Structure 1
Amino acid sequence: MKTLWLALEGRVKRVDKRVSKLEHSTEGADIAAAHVSRRIDDLERERDSLREDVTYMKSQSMRINLIYTGVPEVESELPDTTESILRKHVTDALKIAHETVASIKFERVHRSPEEQTRGKARSIIAKFAFFKDNESVRREWKQLTGTNYNVFEQFPPEVVAKRRKLLPKMKEARANGKGSWISYDTLYVDGRPVRD
């Protein structure tokens, strides 16, 4: 019986040692997992920050672009023709003096790259050489009220998605008699930015 007891005691000690080693290993794995988890969180924050930076840089490169919708398109339209069509449209629809429109310098004017659909004109994207010219044209958007035309700023898809989400909140604030507008990707109500 004593021999059996000693053998059992030896076996229990060996099992205790193995359990102790396993606990040590598990603690080490837990520490490593926590470290990896922290590192992943850091990398995700860095990725999100980089995405925001890229979106901001894209929006800055589009800052002096305006998009015009509803402007009729001619068959086999060349870029020079598109610019002439746009200048005439700005004069006629936005009621800006011909001399002023003639003095505007564009870096590039082109139709949107989407597939042409019969009976539907593609949008015109105009990159102005000077921000001042862009703003003087953009400010006349109210002249297009009640027409089939529109003019708006160009933004990256990420910013457009944010603006779409803010639009109902802006309309609600206006319905409540508050001054509200969207600038870039932020809603302002009575002059204060509204956070989600």
Structure 2
Amino acid sequence: MPKTDKSDRKRRLSSDGNTPKPSTKTVKMADTNLEDMVDKITVIAEAVQKLQCRSMRDNLLFFGLAEYKGNRKEDCVRLIDDFCDDLLRLRNVKQDIERAHRIGRRRNGECRPVVVKFSSFRAREKVRANAGKLVDTRYAIQEQFPRVIQEQRKQLYPILKEARNRGKKATLVVNRLYIDGEEYTGPETLEAMETTNRENHDETVG
């Protein structure tokens, strides 16, 4: 093993025997490179998410439909067509379905949802517009979104319900909640609206 020059060792080692700390300039450059990398990853992730949303644009999820237990393969297109005919009073929906199948893992006592891809966004919206007919039933119809957005929507559902209970117009568009036309950004949004309403009421009464 070649001998290490003492002066070289002194340059590489500090007086306490540890390697020298990197310079402030080096640390700043490393931080900048890391921030740039994080920004690029964020941009890529957002682009992928948009592509996923676009690929799911014509899809709907159907919940509560019992699964076929026989030996033959389940005909989900026919299942959805019969469902729409019986409960939504929509005839011959199958002509607008490109494909339909179950998603998720099998679990005892639970029916996996059926994802349906329609031939167009217009055909999808025709079915979704009738989802209100399923209120107070065990069935439901929802738009399909990537998992990240779906989790964000779950967090916003209670706030949407609370806003509607207060008599406000609340709409959930993808992963953004709008209350009386204003985007919800946190609890302060509702508080500001309540303050404004009280002020307007006081001015009217006065």
TM-score normalised over the length of structure 2: 0.74
2:68 corresponds to which residue? 74
Q: Secondary structure at the match of 1:78?
A: coil
Stretch moving more, 160-169 or 130-139: 160-169
CA distance in structure 2 between the partners assigned to 1:146 and 1:52 by the alignment: 37
Q: 1:142 to 1:77 in 2, by over 3 A?
A: farther
Q: 2:165 aligns with which of 150, 175, 189?
A: 175
Bigger share in helix = 1
Q: 1:33 to 1:73 in 2, by over 3 A?
A: same
1:158 corresponds to which residue? 148
Runs of 4+ in 1 over 4 A off after TM superposition: none
2:114 corresponds to which residue? 124
Q: Secondary structure at the match of 1:162?
A: helix
- Pairwise mapping of residues 134-149 of structure 1 onto structure 2 (< 5 A)? 134-149=124-139
Using the TM superposition, give the Cα deviation of residue 121 of structure 1 relative to its aligned residue in structure 2, in angstroms: 2.3
Q: 1:90 to 1:159 in 2, by over 3 A?
A: same
- Structure 1 gap ranges (5+): 1-17
Q: 1:77 to 1:179 in 2, by over 3 A?
A: farther
Using the TM superposition, give the Cα deviation of residue 113 of structure 1 relative to its aligned residue in structure 2, in angstroms: 4.0
1:110 maps to amino acid: H
Write the deviation string for residues 17-43 of structure 1: whole angstroms up to 9, x where unpaired: x9xxx9xxx898111110110111121
Greater RCO (Cα-Cα under 8 Å, separation 6 or more): 1
Using the TM superposition, give the Cα deviation of residue 60 of structure 1 relative to its aligned residue in structure 2, in angstroms: 1.0
1:94 matched to 2:88? yes
1:55 corresponds to which residue? 49
1:10 corresponds to which residue? none
Q: Secondary structure at the match of 2:127?
A: helix
Write the deviation string for residues 89-130 of structure 1: whole angstroms up to 9, x where unpaired: 01111122x24x25x322211111422x44432211100111
CA distance in structure 1 between the partners assigned to 2:72 and 2:119 by the alignment: 22
Q: Contact (CA 8 Å) 1:67, 1:151: kept in 2 or not?
A: yes
CA distance in structure 2 between the partners assigned to 1:120 and 1:176 by the alignment: 34
2:199 corresponds to which residue? none
Q: Contact (CA 8 Å) 1:95, 1:143: kept in 2 or not?
A: no
* Structure of larger gyration radius: 1
TM-score normalised over the length of structure 1: 0.78
Q: 1:48 to 1:176 in 2, by over 3 A?
A: same
- Structure 2 gap ranges (5+): 1-10, 187-206
2:98 maps to amino acid: E
Using the TM superposition, give the Cα deviation of residue 67 of structure 1 relative to its aligned residue in structure 2, in angstroms: 0.6
CA distance in structure 2 between the partners assigned to 1:90 and 1:148 by the alignment: 14
Q: Secondary structure at the match of 2:23?
A: helix
1:78 maps to amino acid: K
2:27 corresponds to which residue? 33
Aligned CA-pair RMSD? 2.2
